[in-house]
Structure 1
Amino acid sequence: MKPELHRPLSLDQIGPRGLDLTVEANPTECSALAIRMHLPAVLALSCAFNLIRQGRDIVLARGVLHARVTQTCVLSLEDFDAPLQETFQVRFVPTEQQSDDIDPEADDEIPFEGNLIDLGEAAAEQLGLALDPYPRMPGVEIPPAEDDPQPHPFAALRRLN
């Protein structure tokens, strides 16, 4: 199945001095990404990559993601637009060379097969990582706790002891 944002790049295009590329999602791709990310909308997405070869098959990718998304506030349940900006660093590695070690300090690895890496899928993954899992609309606060809470239905049983 083809990803929502597909931008294949041959490793041969990355020269000895590296390569700078920007991936931008069109409206159709933004709509598909919104469905994948369970968002009301992805309004815009662009991701600038700086790619550097590390040996024959490994590519270090540094990047900056810019996006505008519509999220649903967890407190008010209202939709609101939110800008996102995220810097990141990942490594594209052949599937057979992917590390089994889980090191939180190491760069994330994106496996690939053959001679093509997918910058679109990498941008989509970075979008997913940049999203706030509990988005709050600016200005919406958690309501204060009630000073006189309702008595628990079993409070009378506690007094019988």
Structure 2
Amino acid sequence: MATETFPFSHKIAGDRLGNEERQVVLELNEGERQRIAKAYELDGIETLTADLRLKPWRKAGVRVTGTVKGKLQRTCVVTLEPFVEELFDEVDRTFEPVSSRPKRPRDLNDEGEIEIELETLDPPDVMVDGVLDLGAVVCEQLALNVDAFPRKPGAEFEAVETDDAEEHEPAPSPFAALAKLKDEPEA
């Protein structure tokens, strides 16, 4: 997350949170919503809000919990009609400062690799210089939840039936063509 750029940014000093919890409500304006819609190839975004709670995590980290809600303008891939898709996603992410210390040897396996168990929570994201970009969190949650093939509720694909005679004849087998070549005498 630290090296990417996002169409929306809302940076806060995560290292100055202290022991206090902090609530941040982001209501994106028209320009911000247009930039995000363009970046993620959406027809438009009617509303997009994030209600986030920042809590201290471990010694110098931050845990971000809350929700991202929105109304996205989409085009149905079945009917090609525009419709509004509701977005609701719960956020639960942790961030910690960049560590200048190498990983402890006990974190490494025999091949020198860090082992991660799939059943555990995701490892924390990184805060660069103590800065946490909540805009990037909102953009990532949106990108993870956007349906690549949106369907209008109730839209179903109906196969078109044709009466072409060609469809009822089976395709010739490639082995039949080889058998025909084998049966022909050589000249």
Q: CA deviation at 1:131?
A: 1.4
TM-score (norm 2): 0.71
Q: Which amino acid in 1 is paired with 2:167? A: P
> Which residue of 128, 138, 145 maps to 1:123?
138
> Sequence identity of aligned pairs in percent?
24
Q: CA deviation at 1:85?
A: 1.0
**Cα distance per residue 1:48-100 (max 9 Å; x no partner):** 11111112321111111111111121212222111111112111233448996
**Cα distance per residue 1:109-158 (max 9 Å; x no partner):** 43220011011111111111121222101121121474978627861447
> Which residue of 171, 177, 186 maps to 1:155?
171
> Which residue of 121, 124, 128 maps to 1:106?
121
Q: Specify whether residues 88 and 2 from structure 1 end up closer, same or farther in structure 2 by C-alpha distance, changes over 3 A only.
A: closer
TM-score (norm 1): 0.81
Q: Which runs of 5+ in 1 are unaligned?
A: none
> Which residue of 138, 142, 145 maps to 2:157?
142
1:66 — aligned with what?
Answer: 69
Question: Counterpart of 2:167 in 1: which secondary structure?
Answer: coil
CA contact (8 A) 2:6 2:139 kept: no
CA contact (8 A) 2:22 2:55 kept: yes
Q: Specify whether residues 159 and 135 from structure 1 end up closer, same or farther in structure 2 by C-alpha distance, changes over 3 A only.
A: same
Which stretch has the larger CA shift, 119-128 or 17-26? 17-26
Using the alignment, how far apart are the partners of 1:58 and 1:154 within structure 2? Answer: 65
> Which residue of 17, 26, 31 maps to 2:34?
31
Using the alignment, how far apart are the partners of 1:145 and 1:102 within structure 2? Answer: 48
CA contact (8 A) 1:23 1:123 kept: no
Alignment of 1:16-95 (within 5 A): 16-95=19-98
Higher strand share: 1
Question: Counterpart of 2:137 in 1: which secondary structure?
Answer: helix
CA contact (8 A) 2:15 2:61 kept: no
- Count of matched residue pairs: 161
Using the alignment, how far apart are the partners of 2:32 and 2:122 within structure 1? Answer: 27
Please report the RMSD computed on the Cα atoms of aligned residues, expressed in angstroms: 3.2
CA contact (8 A) 2:57 2:94 kept: no
Using the alignment, how far apart are the partners of 1:67 and 1:132 within structure 2? Answer: 14
Q: Whose radius of gyration is greater, 1 or 2?
A: 2
Q: Specify whether residues 156 and 134 from structure 1 end up closer, same or farther in structure 2 by C-alpha distance, changes over 3 A only.
A: same
Using the alignment, how far apart are the partners of 1:156 and 1:72 within structure 2? Answer: 40
